[in-house]
Each structure stands twice: as structure tokens, then as C-alpha cells.
Amino acid sequence: MAKEKVAICPGSYDPVTNGHVDIITRASRVFDKVVVAVVNNPVRKEKTLFTAEERKAFIEDATAELGNVGVEVMSNLLVEFAKEHGASAVIKGLRAISDFEYEFEMNQLNRKLAPEIESMYIFASANYSFLSSTGVKEIATFGGDISDLVPGPVAKALAERLAR
Ligand code: ADP
């Protein structure tokens, strides 16, 4: 039997949005197994609003119906995490323009570290192309409606934590 094809979907997911869930769902249709890697202490972000365990639980809840998706907190280097999980690919979502430059750089760094792991990109669906965790937090801070943008439990948690 052919070896199981595993992909990693890394991110800070602070918190998970419908845009993330869309990418994870689409990746899960192409790969045998998807491991969502929740970055414990993101380097490029300020302190996270939710703890790694909270962020993990939101994703588990939002992907519960997908039989081949697991969620784990990642505290080491992405390529090491990918090797530990027998993954052959890292999947990233690409939004309108903004993600390209950063991803282009990360792609080359990761290939230098581990040429056997392929980074692959899924374009954001049109309705999520301008959706980011940061944007959602900003809207929630001022009491705006985010119910179309994030899973229900996330909207509730944001309202509790951020509403002024
Ligand atoms: P953010 O930039 O929103 O904080 P993360 O760092 O958690 O997101 O990103 C995890 C992955 O999901 C990255 O590959 C990112 O490009 C992708 N992503 C984030 N938001 C979306 C979206 N709305 N549509 C498609 N991909 C997205």
C-alpha cells in the first residue's frame, strides 16, 4: 500500500477564522491526513490573545467533522515538526497580495533547511481574501459583528474577552 500522505497547516490561529477553516478543509480533501500546527510563541506577532491550548481547542471544534484532521501545539522548528509527523508537505493559505512576500522568503528558508518537504499554497476563497485574525480582533474590540467571519464559539469568546 502507498505511504499515507501527510500535510502540515501551520499558523498562529489567534483565533482561527473561517478563512483558516476553508484552507484546512480544502487541504484535507487532497491529503490523507492534515496536522494543524498551532505555533506556541509566534515570533512575528505580539503576545497572543488566546493561549495555545485555547487556540487548539477552537480549531478542534471547528474541524471536528473532518475525519482526517488533527491539531497540535508546535513548539519547535516547522521542518522538524513536519519530519516528526512524517509529513511530505506544508500547506499555506495565500490572501490578496499581502502574504506573498513573507511566504516567498519562508519558502526558500524552509527548502534550505529541509529540501524533501514541499511547501504548497492554496489561494484564499474570494470571500475570505481580506480576512485576518488581526482584523477580526479589531472589529470585535469595537463590538462589530464577526459572526460570518469566525466559528460560533470563537465569536462568543472574542465578545467576552474584547468587548469594551
Ligand atoms: P493570520 O495572518 O490571520 O494571523 P496565521 O498566522 O494564523 O494567520 O496563518 C496561518 C495560515 O493561514 C497562513 O498560511 C495564512 O496565510 C493563512 N490564512 C490566514 N487567513 C487566511 C484567509 N482568510 N484565507 C486563506 N488563508 C489564510
Asked if residue 106 has pLDDT above 80, the reply is: yes
Distance 11 CA to ligand 1 centre (A): 7
The 10 Å CB-count burial string (b at 16+, else e) for 129-158 is eebbbeebbebbeeeeebeebbbeebbebb
Which cell goes with 81? Answer: 515538526
Per-residue confidence (pLDDT) for residue 163, from 0 to 100: 67
For a pLDDT cut of 70, what percent of the chain falls above it? Answer: 97
Q: Which of 16, 18, 23, 134 maximizes ligand 1 atoms within 8 Å of its Cβ, making it the mutation to test the pocket? A: 23
Per-residue confidence (pLDDT) for residue 150, from 0 to 100: 98
60 confidence band (pLDDT: 50, 70, 90): very high
- pTM score, two decimals? 0.94
Dihedral, 44, 77, 50, 134 alpha carbons, nearest 10: 30
Q: Which of 9, 22, 95, 119 maximizes ligand 1 atoms within 8 Å of its Cβ, making it the mutation to test the pocket? A: 95
CB of 33 closer than 6 A to ligand 1? no
Average pLDDT over residues 11-16: 97
Average pLDDT over residues 1-30: 96
Per-residue confidence (pLDDT) for residue 46, from 0 to 100: 76
Asked if residue 96 has pLDDT above 90, the reply is: no
Per-residue confidence (pLDDT) for residue 98, from 0 to 100: 78
Average pLDDT over residues 50-67: 97
164 confidence band (pLDDT: 50, 70, 90): low
127 confidence band (pLDDT: 50, 70, 90): very high
Per-residue confidence (pLDDT) for residue 2, from 0 to 100: 79
Asked if residue 68 has pLDDT above 80, the reply is: yes
Q: For the chain, how far is it from start to end, CA to CA, in angstroms?
A: 56
Nearest alpha carbon, ligand 1 atom 22: 19
Chain-centre distance of CA 138, in angstroms? 19
45 confidence band (pLDDT: 50, 70, 90): low
77 confidence band (pLDDT: 50, 70, 90): very high
